[in-house]
Structure 1
Amino acid sequence: MSVRDHIQFYLGDQYCQVSGFAPETTVLDWLREERHRTGTKEGCNEGDCGACTILVVRMQDNKLQWKAVNACIQFLWMLDGAQIFTVEDLRDPTGALHPVQLAMVDQHGSQCGFCTPGFVMSMVAYYKSPSASTDEGAINDALAGNLCRCTGYAPIVKAMKQALATKSDHFDQKEQTIKNRLEKFLPRSACKISAPAGTVSLPATAEELASIYQDNPDATLVAGATDVGLWVTKRLNSLPHIISIGSVESLKALHETDDELWIGAGVTYSRAHSAIATILPDAGEVIRRIGSTQVRNAGTVCGNIGNGSPIGDGPPLFIAAEATLILRKGQVTRSLPIEDYFIAYGKQDRHPGEFIEALVIPKPDKNLLYRAYKISKRFDQDISALLGVFAMTCNSDGLVTHIRIAFGGMAATPKRAYATENAILGKPWNEATLEDARDAIQTDFTPLSDMRSSEWYRRQVAANLLTRFFAETATPTTVETRLAGWKDKAYV
């Protein structure tokens, strides 16, 4: 088997072949220090401010997919096989500004200017999206990952609307050229980057991944790097051996049958969002608030589960939905109910050399009442203080025949509220049952006090979310608990 010793990609119109770099080299550092592309700024260095936003273009279903990502927490090797653009690439060959740049000038969208390149790159990514519209809610969602310290958001939104009035740019004329470039990289072969600081393994198939990880169980598995990237930029960790999940095309499979939705380990939240929201609308609303557009474009659904965080938003959504994990070690696979994956803080039911291959979500019964509520200090780009998810079915007599309740942020792991479920199951869904459930939930969890909220707050809000669920699902429903949101969807 031929294994490359270099990664390859296009930066603007320049073909790049790079080898011999440290595993934890970030795209931001490489762009600024090696290519002197200083338009890409370092702000927070943790994927929050968006000043480092670049465009990554790849092929999907024979179409170009333009994605905004945070260069600060993307590793250099993740560019393999891609087309990259920075703010320096936006002018056309005559030197004319891109429609987004011109609109930012016309609408006075730049004040101090530090955040402007990142905003412009996110705006261009949205501009290139087939679904882009002038709806302010959609624009706000697209730009939620970019922060302006000068509070200049209103003119930036106006600039986005102006740019969309002329949906044509010089990249349209380069579309076939870009496709030809990317097709030359296919099919991607296995790659191994060796340097004095460590090794990066980029397997091309699931079989190669399984074999490499089984032989190197102490290596760090990386999919989207939205979490691992912070180990480097904030903790200053060294990663002597990284194994890539994102380089395996077969793990990017996303498909559904009449009974279930299959999400491969390499599927990002952006790509899975619509499919999940179709079967579980409230889960879709929570996913819309996970990180930012840039984070969701890189972070994977299974990676959010795999790191075992007690405050990850994905696990409670999928625990309540009775999802199953497919784990693989070598050639052996096993399925595991997702709630059984989390054993204790920092400990998961994953053997050395074993990795998550997929998440399988069963399609819900048409009568299932599924609600998810994310509680955080900010609406956008904030880690949950707690997240409550409820899934319930009642029979024609009003008795609860099925109930699953899962919380994040209430324990050392994402956890089901078993005592609360027992207080509800088989009972009529009425106020008396609700009161019993509110009492029971206090025995299900022993939450901590931390920077996001106190123990008392978490206990009180968890019980209050039960009340909110009751208000939304009891018959007759007379209480409106939600604010009107974008495209008449409910905010959570």
Structure 2
Amino acid sequence: MRDTVRFLKGGEVVELTDVQPTETLLDYLRLRRRETGTKEGCGEGDCGACTVALGRLMDGKVVYQPVNSCIQLLGMIDGAEVVTVEDLRQDERLHPVQQAMVELHGSQCGFCTPGFIMTMFTLYHAEGQEKSRKTVTDWLAGNLCRCTGYRPIVDAALQSCFDAADDAFAWRANETREVLRALMDSRDIYIGNGDSFFASPASIDGLAALYGQHPDATLVAGATDVGLWITKHLSDLPKTIWLGRVNGLDRVEETPTGILIGATATYAASEPAMGRISPDLAELWRRIGSKQVRASGTIGGNIANGSPIGDTPPALIALGAALELQSADDSRTLALEDFFIDYGKQDREPGEFVTGLFVPRPDDNQVFRCYKISKRFDQDISSVMGAFLFTIVDGEIAAARIAYGGMAGTPKRAFAAETGLVGAVLDDPSTWSTGMKALLGDFTPLSDMRASAEYRMETARALLAKALMEASGTDPAQIRVLNTREGSHDRAA
């Protein structure tokens, strides 16, 4: 066991013994190091002004990813290289992405500029990216600019980010790799005492033992949710256990029947495998948060925190995913849909934690679709999330699994609609009406700031009709005829 957090910054190894349970990386940079180039904006990982780059070893290479330092706990950077805008200067010369921003007038007030620069830095070092405006806008979706306008910023990225990396970080990549390798160890981290601590176990057994002793501790994976408890709710979290160093908990393993995803596997790490299950999942994953959020946030955290509007649970429930849980005394597996008991309540005993899940691949006779509806296309919380798996035999629906988020206090299946669709003929939209009408009895949605109850129900039915239409190849005009026959109250789309 060690009582320090170690990382690389500005070419030097930094070792800290005074790391508070909820101290953020942003506060450390600005208040302790007085490196104020990194800005504090929204405090919730939305605006990107606080973006820094973290370099970690992945498959033997140093990979730089953008993170929101306002919600990244200081202890979570153990074993990484931290790169801020202050580190980019090469002697007296600007970094290539900085120079492009100057030449193309990509900054006015400048408050957001360091965050854009750091996100562009990670794109500059990313390999195999297609040079296109779409690539750039996807990469920069987590950075907001209130005065410059995005065109010159995008142009600066197009000019600077797609040639082979030729900066100080590329020149010393081998040296950095060896330093980061030396920082990696299998010792548990524990800083503090029994009443207040930051801890990071290195093994499943170590985590089980520590959490068994402190079931009141807060488990943190990517902190994209827990970070807001600290910055927005001002929650007092005296005992914090970071899961990012637990050996094997970040696994993503593809098998012929499905995918095993560890609890700390990030969205970014799991995205390629999920995309191979379904193009709809690839698009859903791309629209979860931003590059910064996907680099830190985890599927396990999205599930374990039990949000009724979490993006991943409806899709995973429709696919029939199974959840793995463990404690110091036992381990068990349960269907993901059974994990969510009520709003804010999950089937998890004191001292028990999520270790991963198994996501089955659809069979050849199954059709999967999922859709996210939100006010903003990028980086927004779902108003309604719908996921659908239809088993087709001889042109009829033999079975259906339908799950929604945003329609109840938990992610929930639509059992009545599933039953009503059994026997429906895909080529005959008139046979879909039983399932469409049954959906009305599955949910009693609430109105809130994101959507009204009426909008949610209409949207849920429209998504079901859309999934059926895409599964069957039906002309949308036939759906409009069906709607007219049913009347305005029973509109399907």
Q: TM-score per shorter chain, which class?
A: over 0.9
Equivalent of 2:254, from 236, 239, 256?
256
Matched, 1:178 2:176: yes
Matched, 1:61 2:28: no
Deviation at 1:204, TM superposition (A): 0.6
**In structure 1, what is the equivalent of residue 441 of structure 2?**
443
Q: Aligned equivalents of 1:475 and 1:121: distance in 2?
A: 44
Name the SS of the counterpart of 2:118 in structure 1: helix
Name the SS of the counterpart of 1:176 in structure 2: helix
Structure 1 pair 19–275 and aligned structure 2 pair: CA distance change class (3 A): same
Q: Deviations over 1:102-150 (max 9, x none)?
A: 1111111111110000000001111111122321111111100000011
Deviation at 1:164, TM superposition (A): 2.8
Matched, 1:362 2:324: no
Equivalent of 1:153, from 124, 131, 150?
150
Matched, 1:324 2:318: no
Deviation at 1:426, TM superposition (A): 2.6
Q: Which runs of 5+ in 1 are unaligned?
A: 482-492
Contact 1:23 1:197 (C-alpha < 8 Å) held by counterparts: no
Q: How does 1:291-302 map to 2 (within 5 A)?
A: 291-302=289-300
Equivalent of 2:288, from 287, 290, 310?
290
**In structure 2, what is the equivalent of residue 342 of structure 1?**
340
Q: Deviations over 1:155-184 (max 9, x none)?
A: 111001110354222211110111011011
Q: How does 1:134-149 map to 2 (within 5 A)?
A: 134-149=131-146
AA in 1 matched with 2:118: M
Deviation at 1:42, TM superposition (A): 0.2
**In structure 2, what is the equivalent of residue 237 of structure 1?**
235
Q: Deviations over 1:296-319 (max 9, x none)?
A: 100001110000000000100100
Deviation at 1:65, TM superposition (A): 1.4
The number of residues matched between the two structures is 477
Q: How does 1:66-465 map to 2 (within 5 A)?
A: 66-92=64-90, 94-167=91-164, 168-194=166-192, 198-396=196-394, 398-429=395-426, 430-465=428-463
Q: Aligned equivalents of 2:473 and 2:381: distance in 1?
A: 33
**In structure 2, what is the equivalent of residue 487 of structure 1?**
none
Q: Aligned equivalents of 2:448 and 2:207: distance in 1?
A: 38
Name the SS of the counterpart of 1:72 in structure 2: coil
Deviation at 1:197, TM superposition (A): 7.8
Q: Which runs of 5+ in 2 are unaligned?
A: 480-493
**In structure 2, what is the equivalent of residue 45 of structure 1?**
43
Name the SS of the counterpart of 1:192 in structure 2: strand
AA in 2 matched with 1:311: I
Deviation at 1:433, TM superposition (A): 2.8
Q: Aligned equivalents of 1:305 and 1:35: distance in 2?
A: 35
AA in 2 matched with 1:106: E
Deviation at 1:77, TM superposition (A): 0.3
AA in 2 matched with 1:268: T
Q: CA RMSD in A?
A: 1.6
Deviation at 1:434, TM superposition (A): 2.1
Contact 1:207 1:331 (C-alpha < 8 Å) held by counterparts: no
Q: Aligned equivalents of 2:476 and 2:384: distance in 1?
A: 26
Deviation at 1:43, TM superposition (A): 0.4
Q: Aligned equivalents of 1:165 and 1:335: distance in 2?
A: 45
**In structure 2, what is the equivalent of residue 486 of structure 1?**
none
AA in 2 matched with 1:451: M
Deviation at 1:439, TM superposition (A): 1.1
Q: Deviations over 1:419-459 (max 9, x none)?
A: 00000013323322322222111100010000000001001
Q: Aligned equivalents of 1:199 and 1:34: distance in 2?
A: 20
Name the SS of the counterpart of 2:70 in structure 1: helix
Q: Aligned equivalents of 1:419 and 1:23: distance in 2?
A: 46
Q: Aligned equivalents of 2:300 and 2:277: distance in 1?
A: 18
Deviation at 1:21, TM superposition (A): 2.8
Name the SS of the counterpart of 1:251 in structure 2: coil
TM-score normalised by L of structure 1 = 0.94
AA in 1 matched with 2:156: A
Name the SS of the counterpart of 1:249 in structure 2: coil
Contact 1:376 1:385 (C-alpha < 8 Å) held by counterparts: yes
Q: Aligned equivalents of 2:59 and 2:162: distance in 1?
A: 27
AA in 2 matched with 1:85: V
Name the SS of the counterpart of 2:228 in structure 1: helix
Contact 2:425 2:432 (C-alpha < 8 Å) held by counterparts: no
Contact 1:471 1:479 (C-alpha < 8 Å) held by counterparts: no
**In structure 2, what is the equivalent of residue 489 of structure 1?**
none
AA in 2 matched with 1:335: T
Q: Deviations over 1:353-389 (max 9, x none)?
A: 0001011111211232111111100000110001011
Q: Aligned equivalents of 1:451 and 1:317: distance in 2?
A: 23
Q: Aligned equivalents of 2:204 and 2:231: distance in 1?
A: 29
Deviation at 1:253, TM superposition (A): 1.1
AA in 1 matched with 2:143: N
AA in 1 matched with 2:209: S
Q: Aligned equivalents of 1:269 and 1:57: distance in 2?
A: 17
Structure 1 pair 480–50 and aligned structure 2 pair: CA distance change class (3 A): farther
Contact 1:8 1:81 (C-alpha < 8 Å) held by counterparts: yes
Q: Aligned equivalents of 2:174 and 2:246: distance in 1?
A: 25
Deviation at 1:187, TM superposition (A): 2.3
Contact 1:40 1:86 (C-alpha < 8 Å) held by counterparts: yes
State the percentage of identical aligned residues. 48
Contact 2:54 2:67 (C-alpha < 8 Å) held by counterparts: yes
AA in 2 matched with 1:271: A
**In structure 1, what is the equivalent of residue 491 of structure 2?**
none
Structure 1 pair 230–409 and aligned structure 2 pair: CA distance change class (3 A): same
Q: Aligned equivalents of 1:474 and 1:151: distance in 2?
A: 46
